[in-house]
Structure 1
């Protein structure tokens, strides 16, 4: 640091209550609502006004015009599905909004001379807002007080280096404090603030960057374009075959087009994501972006910050070892003064304050008085203070920080530091320096005075969580700013593989390729700077890894921002919560497995049920093409395929999509789904068309249309049921019961006269139906054989 400004002698009082009330009445208030989710109106519009609701809505109106109404059953299914989507997303919105309030920042403002925490929306123009390490600048303003105030503006400017701020300098909302403290006056609030302008362009509740949704959208785009020529071909074919019976031709055309649209797949995906948010919300996990559920399930490497993640925030001083004959009483007084000088101590300094309160320095003589402060910075690894002793004119400059940073390599005291670090203890060095605090080389030559030994508190659930990741083939990398040996000892207590070989990050190469190789080989890394954390995440990503980063401190922000998934603790700084996609509001590292499990459930189950929807699309397209080529009537009415879709896809997929699923997420969603759906759809469509042609030959005559359709429906249902049985594997009692229940429901339709009439299904004779069953058996055996071949071939 080359320029420092001490705290202003006269402490500003801030606005009065009357001034706050007056400005609030004038509308000069930061009244931008926190948007954690879409509005209710947006949810309704998003579920109602979709491309496929428009297509199927038009087809439904056509059926209403030409009749009968039972051929328009798919229209009522659309209404029901849309209603389910709206209700589920509204439930997710309620959960998100309530959790967002819990995790919302509460800045400290100075009013009537007193510091008070308020909600962000209560800030008014001219408010004096206090700042400390980790605090986010919530509105635009001008610095009024600064004490070594360093602000990171990388989220706004892309510049990674913190900017030293002095009184009169501008600060913008969206930046955050990395060192020092101070206060600023709000100059722009509400929609005029920079952060609010950014919020107008992007909402937190987003469905972008999702391979699932992107893959489905790609599939649906191609299906939409296929529907147009198929519809033209079908209507022309049906008019040619049926002569002037245009109503029947239109019904058959609609029957061929409707099953091509996998409209339920988009809905089911939204419902699965929304329910995932609700489930995680009940576990105090705030998902700020829905794809984060999917993203964390795809992660193969988790980078963990030790402090606050593997260990609890609190520490205890276990030993004070005085060096080189220093006076222990004097050392205790210096530590007490250092603690009292910092209004926002970190966990290490708080432990020192608890062990050596300011009263301990008062032994009858004048205690040291702090006249200047060098705030702690994770980049420097130390803090400092200038102390003065009343009455004797003496002045001293002290530093408190990492021994291996303050002492030169090979110093005798470092061996003792390493020995304690190997036992998982954290060691701070108290040292005197002759240089001024604003000297960039203030730590160049110091005089050691004492070692302060701290013990960290391990999280009870950390070991179990690490074992979960190991079982799921997710590599855990502990990346910390602490001494590498100490970090390795903590990791060893948690049985992390590779903890016996900790790496000092200062020895890491700068080249991403070489760094990535060392990161893959190691598990524990100490003395990592904030910029290095960011570089390490990038190096792992350059080697094809999906990386999640967890943390709670300001030094984690850059890495959290660049990681594929950022996970912040709820008690972490506002800056970390702002850039993270997932916030663990209960500060429990053990919640992460739940997020991974939820993501795997969503991905695995959506992949599973997608094959059902797209198998239907494939056989629908094939049947339409065969009908046009053979110039025969389309075998099905819309009601037939509505029944088949409900029993073999709609109802089963709803249950399958919400079932537990622990399969590891795999890439290439479209390829994985289509390599199953295409052959299964071709087999089902070909077998159904064969049955239809055989039935036409067997029954013949103008009045046999219902018998021909019923035989084809029976074959398609049985093969679709076998496809469902394949997709439902591995079997559990409820999955077997689900398949049997769908089969029983179809049987009820076939044997109930009123349902036979409603769905126009009636099996005639014995030869035709048993032929349909035989063809279905052959088709099902081919499906099984194709499945056995497909699952053995890599994607």
Structure 2
């Protein structure tokens, strides 16, 4: 309920709404009831529309968020596992914990296999903490290795983490950077309106005008200058854009993510699950020791996978091909991203075996490889295969985590295949074509990663460096290595975060795509964090965008939709700035000449229907298709500066039409005012078509349909407003008299042509697609 009250307060109690209501009260005080009622009605209807649409967006996005919300695995009495939302947990429930899980509640460990927990959320210490049966675990911490069962002892605010334990994000729309810029502009223009009000009062008071006329002019100028609907329009476009993105399987968790996609300059991706498919297949096992044949190597590896993998894709691939040996397990060291290996000590056929399985570069520190063995592993990696090294150790007493370098012997290798994901080549081609630089940050072998990157079409796949090499570099050398390499292999989670920070701190808008708990730090540090729906809850929680179909290939569609949304906001910005600038020019000329401002508040509302309301609806329902990437950082340049000359020409022309009409037909001022409104409306409608040309919009079938519907709506509203006599009288219009415009034709036609030329001139800058970095 609090969320809905906040939405209502945000839409009905904003400074702009309150200011206009105060002005309406002033009109009531001077007995101008029609204008007071009308501007109050219009602003309340706008606020109502905004609140209704925001509530609709909230409810729709809430349903989508529930799809991506983290769930806890609860073990039922019959042994089955049910997934429930975190806030549905109860004290006494038994949880099944896997690597990558974010703990939803405080609890006590019942049993564990190599369980390690990162408690930095509570303690600030990033080192993993071992947890054994009987130990306490806390909400908001993360399982970085192993599996376990735990009994819930506290939930919600009763946990040590308190409010942090409620990790299901509530929908509370935060303004995007562009919206904040618009809000600042509204604030500045509001102060400008106050200054204009003082000037109007001073000038017209000296001229001897009545207080009622002065007040109506001040209100009209305020409505003209303050773009009260621009923020609402951008909010609606972003909200509906979020829903469209979600329908395309790209769920933005923040409205700012839409803007971020338009800014993306560097995209860092993982290999496994991003460039490659989720399916990992077992190719073969190869023995490096005469005491064990290939089959035995595979069975030993299956034992390690069974005890330590926690159901990950690599372990499942090994277990699908080979059955684990029967053994009495004595000690387990689960796989973690920092160690890049897992270990088991078990009694097999009466003999204690100590086994390690993991990345060759890391396992080989404990069990050195011969040159021939290393060459064989490199050959497999060069073919894009994934290799795990299996080693055995004679020591049966030293804890697995304390085994010393050189104390083991290579037993064999497990060779796996992870094929390129379908559609990834087209995705890479699209991103690089948009000027996005792709970097691959992976925990895999550099040769394997380079092979996959080359197959995906990523530029410079041969430029590879490992995490071990990065660790030896000082800050300056690290920065140079980050800039000159494409492939970063065998990196640790902290190194991923450091790489992301480097690119971002250079001013290059940086995105990160990941799915594992080891990606959470990098996702959080990135300007745009993209997580997979099937990924670790910890990574989903910190991401800006969740790919609901777990496919990296859906990102281009999301970028295209985001680009269209940002283009629509630019279009609406052009219309608002045109309205403001031409209104100020017209006001300045009338003040200088000492003549009455031609519009009443009702006239502006009539014009805004054509100039703002209908185009906003049109571009919300039919988002434009730009020919280039939109850069939100150029918003003011592409909108305000681009349309300013056109707006000045409109203001000069409308002022000329008004002045000529008053001069030539002083006894027909009502008709002159009506025709002035129609001329201004014509230029506003004309700009709707010019804006598309100015901003480089493709005129596809949807664009033609949108324009046709817009023109039909213009004609309908015009006919109704002038054809129904009570409505025409309410707006203070007279029947249109085109004969009054003949003296102004010599001005209207050349200005119309000049505006078209300026729009064409501005549009030439979009002939080449822009690149954003």
Normalised TM-score (structure 1): 0.86
| SS of residue in 2 equivalent to 1:728 | helix
Matched with 1:398 is: 355
CA contact (8 A) 1:568 1:582 kept: yes
The answer to whether the 8 A contact 1:295-1:564 is kept is yes
- How many Å apart are 1:193 and its aligned residue? 3.0
Partner Cα distance (1:95, 1:462) in 2: 30
Task: Pick which of 502-511 and 559-568 moved more.
Answer: 502-511
Matched, 1:489 2:448: no
What does residue range 208-607 of structure 1 map to in structure 2 within 5 Å? 208=174, 210-238=176-204, 241=207, 243-244=209-210, 246-328=211-293, 329-342=295-308, 344-358=310-324, 361=325, 367-390=326-349, 392=350, 394-407=351-364, 408=368, 411-435=371-395, 436-442=398-404, 444-508=406-470, 510-511=473-474, 514-607=477-570
Partner of 1:18: none
Does residue 1:174 correspond to 2:146, yes or no? no
Distance 1:598 1:169 in 2: 48
Q: Label 1:433 to 1:198 Cα distance change in 2 as closer, same or farther (>3 A).
A: same
Structure 1, unaligned runs of 5 or more: 1-36, 362-366
1:482 Cα shift? 0.5
> What is the CA–CA distance in structure 1 between the aligned matches of 2:752 and 2:370, rounded to whole Å?
75
Contact 2:274 2:513 (8 Å CA) reproduced: yes
Q: Does the CA contact (< 8 Å) of 2:722 and 2:735 recur in 1?
A: no
SS in 1 for 2:333: strand
Counterpart residue number, 1:14: none
Secondary structure in structure 2 of the residue aligned to 1:39: helix
Alignment of 1:4-153 (within 5 A): 39-63=3-27, 66-67=31-32, 69=34, 73-109=38-74, 112=77, 114=79, 116-119=81-84, 120-143=86-109, 145-153=111-119
8 Å Cα contact 2:565-2:623 kept in structure 1: no
1:775 to 728, 736, 747: 747
Give me the whole-angstrom Cα distance separating, in 1, the residues matched to 2:83 and 2:623: 43
Helix, strand or coil at the partner of 1:314: coil
Cα distance in 2 between the residues matched to 1:677 and 1:152: 54
Contact 1:711/1:763 (CA < 8 Å) preserved in 2? no
The structure-2 alpha-carbon separation of the partners of 1:563 and 1:752, relative to structure 1 and needing over 3 Å to count, comes to same
Give the secondary structure class of the aligned counterpart of 2:458: coil
Stretch deviating more after TM superposition (775-784 or 218-227): 775-784
CA distance in 1, matches of 2:169, 2:557: 25
Per-residue deviation, 1:79:
3.7
| Contact 1:38–1:205 under 8 Å retained in 2 | no
Please report how far the alpha carbon of residue 380 of structure 1 lies from its aligned counterpart in structure 2 after TM superposition: 1.1
The CA distance in 2 between the partners of 1:507 and 1:538, in whole Å, is 18
Partner of 2:690: 726
Shift of 1:490: 1.9
- Shift of residue 563, structure 1, vs aligned partner: 0.6
Mean Cα displacement is larger for which, 299-308 or 213-222? 299-308
* Structure 1 residue 550, shift from structure 2 partner: 0.9
TM-score, normalising length from structure 2?
0.88
Separation in structure 2 between the aligned mates of residue 591 and residue 38 of structure 1, nearest angstrom? 35
Give the secondary structure class of the aligned counterpart of 2:272.
coil
Root-mean-square deviation (CA, aligned residues, Å) is: 3.2
Shift of 1:42: 2.8
- Answer whether contact 1:406 1:444 (CA < 8 A) is retained: no
CA–CA distance in structure 2, aligned partners of residues 678 and 69 of structure 1:
33
Alignment of 1:694-733 (within 5 A): 694-700=660-666, 703-729=667-693, 730=697, 731=699, 732-733=703-704
Distance 2:724 2:64 in 1: 53
CA distance in 2, matches of 1:130, 1:603: 43
Residues 173-219 of structure 1 show CA distances to partners (whole Å, capped at 9, x for unaligned) of 22211112334454432223355524899965344462211111111
Count of matched residue pairs: 747
Q: Structure 1's 176 and 227: CA in aligned 2 closer, same or farther, altered over 3 A?
A: same
Cα 1:116/1:211, change in 2 over 3 Å: same
Gaps of 5+ in 2: none
Residue 39 of structure 1: how far off its partner (Å): 2.9
Equivalent-residue separation in structure 2 for 1:326 and 1:71 (angstroms): 95
| Cα 1:764–1:420 shift into 2, 3 Å | closer
Contact persistence 2:24–2:35 (CA under 8 A): no
Report if aligned partners of 1:43, 1:86 keep a CA contact under 8 Å in 2.
yes
Q: What SS is found at the alignment partner of 1:636? A: coil
